[in-house]
């Protein structure tokens, strides 16, 4: 069973940094592709980043490429999202998700388990 819990959100000024964490209390973390998505008020959920099983491959949305870094620690059953140079447009609820199919996907439908989300607010 996959149970995802995000943490690390908060309020930060534009240009600042935050590091999100997502811990999986289950026993299959290392077998799942992990992704981060975000959803701003009145907008659809959008892909942010994803990472392969071993962490050797990553994928990023163009809007965050060069500013955000996804990583994982399979020994700790945790995936991270380091967010630098934050902008007000990054304000959203951020969700981590687990994909049991083994292939990196940008589609939310490609993920089977979701966390409850953590709010990130970037002030100008």
Task: Examine the pLDDT at 9 and tell me if it is beyond 90.
Answer: yes
pLDDT at 92 over 90: yes
pLDDT attached to residue 1: 83
If 0-12 CB within 10 Å is exposed, 13-18 middle and 19+ buried, where does residue 46 land?
middle
Average pLDDT of the segment spanning 109-123 = 97
d(CA 13, CA 121): 8
Average pLDDT over residues 47-61: 97
Say yes or no to pLDDT of 21 above 90: yes
pLDDT of residue 101: 92
Say whether 88 sits in a helix, a strand or coil.
helix
pLDDT (mean) for 57-76: 98
Region 59-78: mean pLDDT is: 98
**CA distance readout (Å), 49 to 1, 59, 90, 115:** 23, 5, 13, 15
Per-residue pLDDT tens over the stretch 82-91: 999 999 999 9
pLDDT at 26: 87
């Amino acid at each position: 069973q996959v149970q995802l819990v995000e943490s690390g959100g908060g309020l930060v000024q534009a240009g600042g940094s935050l590091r999100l964490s997502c811990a999986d209390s289950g026993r299959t973390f290392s077998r799942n592709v992990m992704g981060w998505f975000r959803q701003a008020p009145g907008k659809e959920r959008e892909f942010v980043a994803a990472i392969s099983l071993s962490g050797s491959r990553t994928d990023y949305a163009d809007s965050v490429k060069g500013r955000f870094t996804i990583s994982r620690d399979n020994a700790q059953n945790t995936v991270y999202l380091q967010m630098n140079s934050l902008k007000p447009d990054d304000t959203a609820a951020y969700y981590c998700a687990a994909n049991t199919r083994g292939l990196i996907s940008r589609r939310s439908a490609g993920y089977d388990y979701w966390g409850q989300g953590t709010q990130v607010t970037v002030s100008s």
